[in-house]
Amino acid sequence: MKQFAFLITLISIIGIDIIAQDNTNRFVKPMKLSPSVSGSFGELRSNHFHSGLDLTTNRKTGYRIYASDKGYVSRIKVSPFGYGKALYIDHEGGFTTVYAHLERYSNRIDSLIRARQYEQKSFAIELFFKPGELEVARGEVIAYSGNSGGSGGPHLHYEVRDKASQKPMNPLQFRDDIPDDVRPQVQGMKLYCLSDDASIAGKRKDVFVPTVFYDRAFHPKGSTKFTAYGKIGVGVQVIDYLTGSWRKCGISTMDLFVNDTLVYNFKIDKFSFAESRYINSHIDYAEKKRTGKVIQKGFVEPNNRLSLYGVKNEYSADIKPGDKKIFKFVIEDFVGNRSVLAFTVIGEAPLPAKSIGKTNFIKVNYNKAFKLDTLGMKLSIPAKTFYTDIDLFVHKEDKDGLLGPVYIIGDKEIPLHRSMTVTIPVPDSLLHYNEKLLIAGVSSANKTYAIGGKVKDSELSVSTRGFGRFTVAIDTIAPTIKLRKAPENNNYSSRASIELIINDEFSGIKSYECLIDGQWALFDYDAKNYRLTGTFKHMPFLKRGQHELQVKVVDGCGNESLKSFQFSN
């Protein structure tokens, strides 16, 4: 019987090892380059968690990209924004791999996409395929690395997703060639007053404290003891690194214990894109806006619906006079490198009750829809736009040099999860501009920037996800169009492509169209560099000789530019 039990145990161990080994080596590496990670899975980005690995490409484009496993191309998307040129492959075993910011696709895939682009007369395109329509082999070259879309430099953005849910998961589960022997680095900690009667060190004020490392753990710089009263929260500023790399990465888990009781647990190994914006509640959004510090909170606001928490509470501890609470953060990266931060909070006497709350503010319940009609402006905010109740400030002021008053709505340090609708009146003297009108934001330096909106019944309305300062603006200036690095006499016979720069100074480029000798021609749009590129070999109708290129560009307010260029090839 003991021998049988031993055999079962041995089989189990071997089985587990085989599963782990199979998981690690399930996929072919997407590039044959020594891996250098510039962005990790779960890294904290603006308004979202990073959903994959960013693999650098030596500041170059054009490296071969290989299919991670056999399967079929399920989706292709080409866009001047976001992922740029992206390709999705569905595999057996319930996985999808994603390859983004590509320069181009393999020839057979590229020709298929180009045919559809000519059919739809659009550079931006999204295609979906069924099993058997566009199959790929394991290790097949499917594309070439690039810098397309919103990429900030040449690299491959690589994802592994659960095929059924399309939730991204950590690609490091599937490879073992990226060394990491560096523990997460705790740079600071913050204590928060979360109840009206809460105090820290005798003041109703949040406190940030840098941290230092000694005795194999992180500690608050200076004293490791604090005094507090009431419901308080704690958070940490923490980043991670890989071996031999200066590039910042994200952590994998964070636990908070108070007197050895787990009060908070966060783990990111898979998430939904639909919930990614809750990152603005996961972090201290206001601190990031003010100082750039990214602090992950050890408590969860009532409308933070991230699925990444196990244990969660709306505060970290409720401190009474004389209490002694030992706080301990345990933070790990994906491979298990661990960091610990510990400190003590002693209960202090409560402060006298506050006599007056905030004046000139409107209390908004996060769980209820809110409408406001005041000062000539209207505001409509759906329920669950905020992560907790907020104090809303609304004000109107006149500023020289602007076409109308400035409406100050809310605090830019308060994040919005959903869009609110802002409606402001249009002065009678401006109504004749009609579609040229839009709502603009006003910076602290009183410079305007376009937000958008439409006119209806003498009012401008726009949907926006940010508080700020709003006013009416006009855009009557058409976009600019010019050739980029044109050869002498516009003779392109020794060139592979023709390039243009298109730009709009205010409402932005809405659409463009390029015709050569009256026929629609495919021009790639690189929005971040304002560049259109027409590759001659991608224009099947084009013969050698003299040609006329007509370019039409329309901005967000309908201003249109039309320009013609004569060229030869």
Q: What is the pLDDT of residue 1?
A: 45
CB 327 within 8 A of CB 342: yes
Does 560 have pLDDT greater than 60?
yes
On whether residue 11 sits in a domain, the answer given is no
Looking at residue 358, its pLDDT comes to: 64
- Tell me, yes or no, whether 497 and 464 share the same domain: no
Residue 35's pLDDT is 86
Domain-ending residue, one of 474, 508, 542: 474
Return mean pLDDT, the chain.
Answer: 94
Q: Quick one: 230 and 343 in the same domain?
A: yes
Task: Check whether residue 372 and residue 411 sit in a common domain.
Answer: yes
Of 321, 347, 373, which residue sits at a domain end? 347
Q: Could you tell me the end-to-end alpha-carbon distance of the chain, in angstroms, rounded to an integer? A: 84
The pLDDT of 519-536, averaged and rounded, is: 98
- Does pLDDT of 317 surpass 90? yes
Q: Does residue 313 sit in the same domain as residue 407?
A: no
Mean pLDDT over residues 397-424, rounded? 96
Q: Does residue 497 belong to any structural domain of this protein? A: yes
Q: What is the mean pLDDT of residues 498-512?
A: 97
Neighbouring CB atoms inside 10 A of 65's CB total 26
Q: What are phi and psi of 559, to 5 degrees?
A: -70, 135
Average pLDDT of span 268-295: 97
Amino acid identity of residue 100, one-letter, is A
Give the residues across from 326 on adjacent strands: 344
pLDDT at 354 over 90: no
pLDDT at 393: 95
Residues 377 and 521 in one domain: no
Nearest 5°: phi and psi at 123? -70, -50
Same domain as 144, residue 54: yes
Q: Is the pLDDT of residue 213 over 50?
A: yes
Flag whether pLDDT at 203 surpasses 90.
yes
Average pLDDT value for residue range 6-13? 41
Look at residue 20 and tell me whether its pLDDT is greater than 50: no
Q: Is residue 369 part of a domain?
A: yes
Q: Is residue 448 part of a domain?
A: yes
Assigned domain for 9 exists: no
pLDDT of residue 132: 95
* CATH number of the domain to which 40 belongs: 2.70.70.10
Residues 100 and 62 in one domain: yes
CATH of the domain at 555: 2.60.40.10
For residue 303, give the nearest of 280, 270, 271 by alpha carbon: 280
pLDDT band per the 50, 70, 90 thresholds, residue 359? low
Q: Is residue 15 situated within a structural domain?
A: no
Residues 169 and 290 in one domain: no
Contact by Cβ (8 Å): 296, 309: no
Query: Which among 174, 204, 228 is the end of a domain?
Result: 174
Render pLDDT for 374-385 as a digit per residue (tens, 0 to 9): 999 999 999 999
H or E, element range at 120: helix 107-120
Do the beta carbons of residue 341 and residue 236 sit within 8 Å?
yes
Asked if residue 504 and residue 420 are part of one domain, the reply reads no
The CATH number of residue 446's host domain is: 2.60.220.30
Residue 13 lies in a domain: no
390 & 342 share domain: no
Residue 523 clears pLDDT 60, i.e. is over it? yes
Per the structure, the complete domain to which residue 551 belongs is given by 480-568
As a whole number of angstroms, the distance between CA 60 and CA 63 comes to 8
Verify that 430 and 487 share a domain, yes or no: no
Least confident of 2-11, 69-78, 527-536, 560-569: 2-11
Question: In 3D, which of 336, 335, 337, 339 has the Cα closest to residue 215?
Answer: 339
Answer positive or negative: Cα dihedral of 478, 484, 487, 488: positive
- Tell me 352's DSSP state: P
Residue 465 belongs to a domain: yes
pLDDT at 12 > cutoff 50: no
Same domain, 328 and 381: no
Per-residue pLDDT reduced to its tens digit, 127-141: 999 999 999 999 999
Q: Give me the number of domains the chain comprises.
A: 4
Would strands 377-381 and 338-347 be described as parallel, antiparallel, or unpaired? unpaired
Of 19-28, 62-71, 96-105, 116-125, least confident by mean pLDDT is: 19-28
What percentage of the chain carries pLDDT values higher than 70? 95
Is residue 6's pLDDT more than 90? no
Q: Is the pLDDT reported for residue 113 higher than 80? A: yes
